[in-house]
A = this chain, B = another copy of it.
Amino acid sequence: MLKTYYHPEPMTYDGTQLRSLWTYRHFHIMGDSIVTFRGPCKVSLDKMVDLEDVLVGDSIYSAEMLHFIIEHFDMDLEKTVYRQRLFMAMIKEDLEEVCGGALIRRGDDLYWREKKLSVSIATLSPVSTLIHVGLNLRTEGTPVPTASLEQIGEKDPEGFARRLMNQYAAEVADIYLARCKVRGVE
C-alpha cells in the first residue's frame, strides 16, 4: 500500500525534492509514497527536468503552493506519466464540488478560467519514478496568470491534501487489484 504523509512544516520546493529516496531520507518513509507540504516554489534553470521549459526559458515560481511528491519504485516512466495524468484528473474531480466544474485539464495542467492552477512534472531516478505536482495557494508574482486553490473555492488545503492522498493510495491499490481479477482472453 502506497504510504501517505502530510508534512506540517513549510518547505521551499526548489527541485531538489524530486530525487530518489528524498521521502525516505527526510521522513523515513520506505516504499511507494505520496507526501504533501506547503511552501514557495522556486526552481532554477539547472534544476529543471522538463527540457521543453528549459528550451523556451520558462521559469517556475510561485509564492506559495501545495506540493505533492510521489515516488513509485518501478522504472517505467511512461506508466508514471499515466499515473500523473490520472492524478491531475483526480484533483479536478475532487475540486469540482467546490468550484462547480470550471476546472479544465489539459495534459498535466489544470486551468480555471484560463488561469493556471498547477505545475507538474514526472521523471525517473536511478531507482524509481517520481512526480511533482504543485497547486497555487497564492498567485502574486507568478510568470503566467494563475489561480489559487482558495480562489476556486477550496479553503482547507490540508484537508484537501489529506483527502487526495488517500484517494490516490486507494486508486493505486484498486488498479493493482483490477489487474488481479481478470482472466486473459484469446
Contacts and interface: CB of A to CB of B under 8 A. Distances in A.
A55 B24 CA distance: 9
Nearest to A48: B183
Contact of A20 (B21, B93, B108, B186): B186
Contact of A179 (B73, B100, B130, B184): B73
Interface in A154-186: 171, 174-186
Contacts of A127: 77, 123-124, 179-180, 182-184
- What does DSSP make chain A's interface, helix, strand, loop or mixed? mixed
State how many copies of this chain the complex holds.
6
A59 B174 CA distance: 22
| Number of chain A interface residues as a range | 35 or more
Given A89-B93, A183-B123, A177 B30 contact: yes
Given A101-B101, A126-B184, A171 B75 contact: no
Contact of A81 (B32, B104, B108, B175): B175
Contacts of A76: 76, 79
